[in-house]
Structure 1
Amino acid sequence: MELPENDLYKISAYGLRGKAVYHAFKHYPIHNKVGFVVGSERPWVEVYALLNGAKEVTTVEYQKLVIEGTNKVRYIHPVAFAEQWKEYGDPLDPIGDLREVWKISCLLKQGGLLFLGLPRGDEVLVFNLHRIYGPIRLAMIMTGFEWLATFRRDTPHPINFTWNDFKGYHQDLFVLRKI
């Protein structure tokens, strides 16, 4: 599987912003690792992972995803995944995002990497629809992890994250290591 680096943004659901995932995989190698993608819709993260040497990727998504030319991508429907946790049908939950990251943490080995893409800016919670992560909720979702780096857009290196980054709105990719 080959794709010129300059064309990577074309397969991303987020255009140039999606290249942050590719660059994070370059800085924090996933070669021969087993990956897990939640909520892909289009399998662009899976392709990036395979291009960076992932051994296998499992995707949790409502629609079955197929990547031609490889048998390294497995699929599981969210209902089947939720049934494993015995939580399907739970009521709406304003801390559902935190619970999902805690579940993912249970799947990671100690020292395992989590590449977590989040909208970041002023703290906003629109109940179960979406969240924008400010300093408080960001700290909550990173509990149990060491924050290694932050990638943004098509910048090939980690950004130096500062307090000023909470002004305005950005889509960031956080690289975290399970403690």
Structure 2
Amino acid sequence: TRTRHINIQRLNPSVRTLLGSNYSSSKEDLALQAVQTRFQKVKAECGQICITEQAKTNVIGKGWYNIVRKPFSCKKIFNYDVFDSSTELEESPHKIPAFLYDEFTYQGRVHVSNMFRNDETPFSKYADWNKDMVQNLVTKIRHGIPTSSYGAKAYSSLKLAMHHTKNTGAHVLVIGSQKPWVEAMLLEQGASHVSTLDYSSIKCDHPQITTYTPPELTAAFLSGTLPVFDGVVSYSSIEHSGLGRYGDALNPYGDLIAMARAWCLVKDLGFAVVGVPTGPDHITFNLHRVYGPLMYSHLFANWQQVYTDTDINLYVSEKHRKRTYGGGFFHTIHVLRKNRTFFAL
């Protein structure tokens, strides 16, 4: 009798699930072993940023969420070989691997549903932001015309949040950007310069915008040539970090590491403006995270909570819970402040 070899990588995901571990390919197993090995290095270098166990969490106060203190090393958190290595997998898993489940779910305290997307973009892909394009967006904002890629509400919410920051003459870092609507808003409000961090290489000839890929920014930080930023802005980006949707390596703490790095890059008493999905603590894997009181407290570790357009009580209702678990979400805005004295860091 001939034994027929089944290439599990070519099977429909639902069929692969039904077949189970008896048909898992050795190539896939080796890749997952590599993920596990890298993850142990992440845990070793990450320090307290990656500690989420309730008994080990240092809560020092209460804002909208618990205020959490996590001492860590900026030099270690920018170890590119550990935190920014390319994915070991041909495609992100459709479910969280068992050996990462506790870490992704905060030891089972965060609900999980599954909704898979593959939006991987080669790092070599270029976006082109020419000067006229950026200036056109600035002009629209000046005349009150919404320019957000996420609709009028996102535009108005972010603009309102900017009233709690000092952008005039500031150098601001934008994390995650496919269209420069946030950059244009900052320039319209008087920022002297905007730097943008994105996985794609962005070609931009505007004299007030500098762009970085993660390797470029990390190299500049470690060499001491990166400027210290007055603030950082991120809208609909951090919630995806470490889920593999965009071809990034799996990392349960990808979002926490991103915010810790932002803390390192901003001057003392500088600001962060963060827009992410809000609701009951939840992960729709590999789509995004939805932040509630638990996940927000760790995402905002070492940051003072200054302003929000969110009443968290409105976002944890049963109606919203069902909608969120079904894949829906609501982006909300928070303004934070770095304060080394307050956190004794």
Length-normalised TM-score, structure 2: 0.44
2:29 alignment counterpart: none
**Is residue 37 of structure 1 aligned with residue 174 of structure 2?**
yes
The 8 Å contact of residues 147 and 175 in structure 1, kept in 2 or not, is answered as: yes
Do the aligned partners of residues 36 and 115 (structure 1) sit closer, same or farther apart at CA in structure 2, a change above 3 Å counting? Answer: same
Indicate the RMSD between aligned Cα atoms, in angstroms. Answer: 2.4
Could you list the runs of 4 or more consecutive aligned residues of structure 1 that deviate by over 6 angstroms after TM superposition? none
SS at match of 2:144: helix
Structure 2 counterparts to residues 74-85 of structure 1, below 5 A:
74-82=210-218
How many residues are matched? 165
**Is residue 173 of structure 1 aligned with residue 310 of structure 2?**
no
User: Which whole-Å deviations, capped at 9, do the CAs of 1:16-67 have from their partners, x for residues lacking one?
Assistant: 1222222211332211111001111100000000011111110012141537
SS at match of 1:26: helix
Instruction: Give the drift of 1:91.
Output: 4.7
Structure 2 counterparts to residues 39-54 of structure 1, below 5 A:
39-54=176-191
Gaps of 5+ in 2: 1-137, 223-247, 321-328, 340-345
2:163 alignment counterpart: 26
Range with bigger deviation, 76-85 or 21-30: 76-85
Higher relative contact order (CA 8 A, sep 6+): 1
2:291 alignment counterpart: 133
User: Which whole-Å deviations, capped at 9, do the CAs of 1:103-157 have from their partners, x for residues lacking one?
Assistant: 1101111111000111000211245642000110011111111111113xxxxxx
Residue 202 of structure 2, aligned match among 64, 80, 102: 64
2:250 alignment counterpart: 92
Do the aligned partners of residues 65 and 114 (structure 1) sit closer, same or farther apart at CA in structure 2, a change above 3 Å counting? Answer: farther
Q: Counterpart amino acid of 1:71?
A: P
The 8 Å contact of residues 149 and 179 in structure 2, kept in 1 or not, is answered as: yes
Do the aligned partners of residues 173 and 46 (structure 1) sit closer, same or farther apart at CA in structure 2, a change above 3 Å counting? Answer: same
**Is residue 102 of structure 1 aligned with residue 239 of structure 2?**
no
The 8 Å contact of residues 164 and 335 in structure 2, kept in 1 or not, is answered as: no
Cα distance in 1 for partners of 2:164, 2:270 equals 15
1:155 alignment counterpart: none
Do the aligned partners of residues 162 and 123 (structure 1) sit closer, same or farther apart at CA in structure 2, a change above 3 Å counting? Answer: closer
Cα distance in 1 for partners of 2:211, 2:157 equals 24
SS at match of 1:21: helix
SS at match of 2:204: coil
Cα distance in 1 for partners of 2:261, 2:254 equals 10
Cα distance in 2 for partners of 1:30, 1:49 equals 7
Do the aligned partners of residues 65 and 14 (structure 1) sit closer, same or farther apart at CA in structure 2, a change above 3 Å counting? Answer: farther
Q: Which has the higher helix share?
A: 2
The 8 Å contact of residues 201 and 212 in structure 2, kept in 1 or not, is answered as: no
Cα distance in 2 for partners of 1:143, 1:45 equals 24
The 8 Å contact of residues 280 and 315 in structure 2, kept in 1 or not, is answered as: no
SS at match of 1:30: coil
Q: Percent identity?
A: 27
Length-normalised TM-score, structure 1: 0.81
Cα distance in 2 for partners of 1:108, 1:34 equals 10
Q: Counterpart amino acid of 1:81?
A: L
Q: Counterpart amino acid of 1:109?
A: K
Do the aligned partners of residues 116 and 100 (structure 1) sit closer, same or farther apart at CA in structure 2, a change above 3 Å counting? Answer: same
The 8 Å contact of residues 42 and 65 in structure 1, kept in 2 or not, is answered as: no
Residue 146 of structure 1, aligned match among 278, 287, 304: 304
Larger Rg: 2
